[in-house]
Chains A and B, each alone.
Chain A
């Protein structure tokens, strides 16, 4: 057993038992971050704060929400929105944060792709991040079921139908998932459980993994420069803060993070109070009705690009393309054959690939929402083919990439 002495202070008492000084040093003050970064490096903190908002607002909503097909709609739209003091505030924070968190996730992902922060030892950061993306997607989808409005019901119907696998006609699997022939009480209970317990647990674990994955390869920087963190840290600690290429996580990096968080929160709360409609589809303010299909069924904006990869093809081809779109981002570190971990602007054809991918996904997103008719179908089809084509081209163009 370790030797304990009589504590001189509470700090000392805790320190002997929990090594809080060491923890603080390792996790905060001497956790080194490159100095050569821009505000995009703060997206991780913005995501952490937004997740915190989702968690806290979710806990409040959970106190009044009723996971029952007869009560769910009114428990949200009447009890929470109108009876409970400030229930509307928690719901709007929850709804808007659920949408905004995906905007930040996409910015975070494209930042990683642009600066090559997924290779040369950083593969696990990328993969754990993609796992988080999948977990957040499942969390968003299951949460969308809970108000039991028209869009909840019909999106639940459409998405669970995908598991029939087209021509495979695995209807038994679909019924097994739903616990019924159509979305009903069993379905709502299951998605409620997933939304408030299982998936949040997975997200918390994955956030730990994501942070842990950063530890050894360290955070990337704006020029993809390989930094000798030990030497630079020594330089910093000896007093040459300006000359060192690294900064402390706390307070140096945190100060910049909080500046970005502060500005982000202005936008966020503006949306919460004055522009929440984009995150809360009007159709979902009609109670679920299994006998009345809405004129347009579409997922929330962050799923539209993958939905549009499903839509323009025949059922089976569409499902294969959809499955491809769901997993292909995981393979990015291995499909990019170039050893260059520098910004896309210095990577020749990859630069073109990056901007094409970004624009193509925005086009897919737009086409995923509009009715699949006429010119929109054609644009959607070509955008989906471009998406697949870009991934096929990636190993080829990166293989021939010159050393930067």
Chain B
């Protein structure tokens, strides 16, 4: 019977699929563990760093190019952190819907890409891509994101952007990853309007740079802030990269686990049908033999 042979090959192909998904599950499980420890360990640092910059921006009045808002700018810069590879379920498409939330008709958004899947995503959504940073598959150290951080900082300092945000998957737990929009620049939500507005013509290399603060800076506010802001931006971007890495591996692990289980279920079902068919065949054959014998007697 052809049905039986068909079933047999389907069972076999499912078994090899299960073998592959199980191997992928193991690989992502070990990557996931590493990524999760990394993200957990650096969370304190980055959240304290962010607190520091928020404290400073609410207490320090200055018109340095990174510490002000640009209310007349029309552009929103978006950094899209995606994964390099697929098979991560809805992780990347969740980012796409977040991206659409940002896409207000009046604002022009420009997208900076990090990760191959993010690129495909931006293509598909007809986003205006301005830069594509390549994400390494290996372990990422903070130096690897210097170029990205520098690019963003410079972009904001030109004054062409109303705000710069990062769209990434925030790691909550192995099962939950939350697509998130994090605002990098300006340092406070625009609505609160606490940051001073940029006044044109004031900022001529130190001329007219004023600073009023409750903080004491050593040696001088400028030297500290010039050193501090880029470092903090780096640490924030690095943290989001770690978060999205941990999310990616967790999502893939879960996906592969589901796939392995689904393959197992399918194999069980197919084996059952296979056995039924085989039993049917045997019964029919037996019946035929008995019928033949009876006919002969």
Verify that A and B bind, or say they do not.
no
